[in-house]
Chains A and B, each alone.
Chain A
Amino acid sequence: MVDLGIKIHKLDFKNPVLTASGTCGFGEEIADFFDLSRLGGIVVKGTTLKHREGNAYPRMAETPSGMLNAVGLQNKGVDNFINNIYPRIKDLNMHLIVNVNGSTIEDYVALTERLNELDKIPAIELNISCPNVKEGGMAFGVSCASAESVVKAVRKVYDKTLIVKLSPNVTNIAEIAKAVEGQGADSVSLINTLLGMAVNAETRKPVLSTITGGLSGPAVKPVALRMVWQVYNAVKIPIIGMGGIMNATDAIEFMIAGASAIQVGTALFIDPTIPVQIIDGLSQYMERHKIQSVNELIGSLQC
Chain B
Amino acid sequence: MKKTVIDFLLLENKKLNKDNFLLILQTPIPISNIFPGQFINVEIKDATEIFLRRPFSVLDVDYEKKTISLLVKILGRGSRKLTEAKEGQTISAIFPLGKSFTLPDKNDRILLIGGGSGVAPMLFLSKICELNPANVAVLIGAKSASDHIDIAAYQPYGNFFFTTEDGSLGEKGYVTNHPVFTEQLTQFSKIYTCGPDLMMKSIGRTAIEKNIFCEVSLENMMACGFGVCLCCVEDTKTGHKCVCTDGPVFNVNDLKW
- The chain A residues found within 8 Å of chain B, CB to CB, are 22-25, 29-30, 32-33, 53-54, 56-60, 62-67, 69, 71, 74, 217-218, 266, 268-273
Contacts and interface: CB of A to CB of B under 8 A. Distances in A.
Given A60-B222, A62-B50, A62-B51, A269 B228 contact: yes
Contact of B5 (A57, A65, A217, A272): A272
B3 A64 contact: no
A176 B30 CA distance: 52
Interface string B184-228: 000000000000000000000000000000000000111111111
- Dominant secondary structure at the B interface: loop
B4 A217 contact: no
Contacts of B234: 57
Nearest to B1: A32
A269 B4 contact: no
A60 B239 contact: no
Among B3, B4, B52, the most chain A Cβ lie within 10 Å of the Cβ of B52
Contacts of A65: 48, 51
B43 interface: yes
B235 interface: yes
A71 B228 contact: no
Contacts of A64: 48-49, 51
A65 B49 CA distance: 7
A61 B18 CA distance: 28
Contacts, number: 94
Interface in B86-144: 92, 94
Nearest to A207: B221
Given A30-B228, A32-B4, A53-B239, A74 B50 contact: no
A67 B51 contact: yes
Contact of A33 (B4, B50, B53, B220): B4
A56 to B, nearest CB: 7
Among B49, B222, B231, the most chain A Cβ lie within 10 Å of the Cβ of B231
Given A33-B4, A33-B5, A53-B240, A25 B51 contact: no
Contact of A67 (B3, B52, B235): B52
A234 to B, nearest CB: 32
Contacts of A67: 51-52, 223
A53 B225 CA distance: 19
A275 to B, nearest CB: 12
6 nearest interchain CB pairs?
Answer: A60-B231, A269-B224, A32-B3, A269-B223, A32-B2, A25-B228
A268 B52 CA distance: 11
B53 to A, nearest CB: 7
B230 A59 contact: yes
Contacts of B226: 29-30, 32, 272
